Amino acid sequence: MPKYSYTYKLLNRVLGKAIHRYDMISDKDRIAVGLSGGKDSLTLMWFLNERLRRVPVDYMLFPIYIDPGFEEGYSDSLSRYCLEMGYKLIVDYTDHGVIAHSPENRENPCFLCAKLRRKRIFEIAHRLGCNKVALAHNKDDLIETLFLNMCYAGEISTMKPAQSFFKGEFFLIRPLCFADENLIRKFVSQQGFPVFNNPCPTAKVSKRKEIKELLNKLYHSNKKIKGNIFRSMQHIKQDYLL
């Protein structure tokens, strides 16, 4: 794929828009990047690494993969791929996925697994002297989280593009927050990124997948719906809420 393809330009534009609007990256930042092996995190790492060669901002990247402990994992394959791309992956072996899917926690394994994974990433980032943690959530993820929280947590909230933790010790950033999942999927296909099959037993039957299917039906009925939902999260009329 040509470096400056139309897909590349679109993704680079929305990533740059998010970085500048929320002041995500500064000179001398040490950024821990949550790398799951999925299309979103591979795309995020690729762009953050690629832009180092063309922007007047110097920062360091530390890709981290939290192995959830499932059988048939892909830590070794992901590590080899990262070396081929020019960066060394930090792999942390855990039993988070096994614990989250234990009989005592069948109601919401994804919530616990994500919580444990993020906690571990922060711990490793602290050890590495990082001041920022980059996660690869995209526009669709933010919309789906809004609906997940309304339907299953009884609150109106979602993930923020940039967020301070531990009294400013860390800043969590989501540079792909303005990127459509379909655009990322197209970029991954054109770029020829490898596919790492998720061994999680609930990957295909999660609450998020149910919400995604519901939203896709809405999107197919009217192409303006996704944009309107996303914009609504930035235009909240509190006088018209309970």
Phi, psi (deg, nearest 5) at residue 93: -85, 125
CATH code for the domain in which residue 117 is found: 3.40.50.620
Q: E strands along 107-233, which residues?
A: 132-134, 162-165, 170-173
Residue type, 52: L
C-alpha closest to that of 59 among 68, 49, 69: 49
In a domain, 1, yes or no: no
- On whether residue 230 sits in a domain, the answer given is yes
Q: What is the domain range of residue 219?
A: 6-240
Q: Which residue has the tokens 């929305």?
A: 14
Residue 202 included in any domain:
yes
User: Could you tell me if residue 19 is inside a domain?
Assistant: yes
Q: Which of 168, 152, 171, 147 is nearest to 160 (CA)?
A: 171
Task: Take residue 166 and report the two structure tokens written for it.
Answer: 């531990």
Burial track 217-235 (b if 16+ CB lie within 10 A, e otherwise): eebeeeeeebeebbeeeee
Residue 134 domain-assigned? yes
Report the domain count for the chain.
1
Please check whether residue 75 is in contact with residue 83, taking contact to mean a CB–CB distance below 8 angstroms.
no
Which pTM does this prediction carry?
0.93
Rounded distance between C-alpha atoms, residue 30 and residue 9, angstroms: 26
Share of the chain above pLDDT 70, in %: 98
Average pLDDT on 171-184 reads 97
pLDDT digit string, tens, across residues 159-174: 999 999 888 888 999 9
Per-residue pLDDT tens digits for 188-242: 999 999 989 888 877 777 888 899 999 999 999 999 999 999 999 999 999 999 8
Instruction: Choose among 127, 69, 55, 241: nearest CA to 232.
Output: 241
List residues bridging with 92 in a β-sheet.
Answer: 66
In a domain, 131, yes or no: yes
Q: How far apart are CA 7 and CA 215, in angstroms?
A: 24
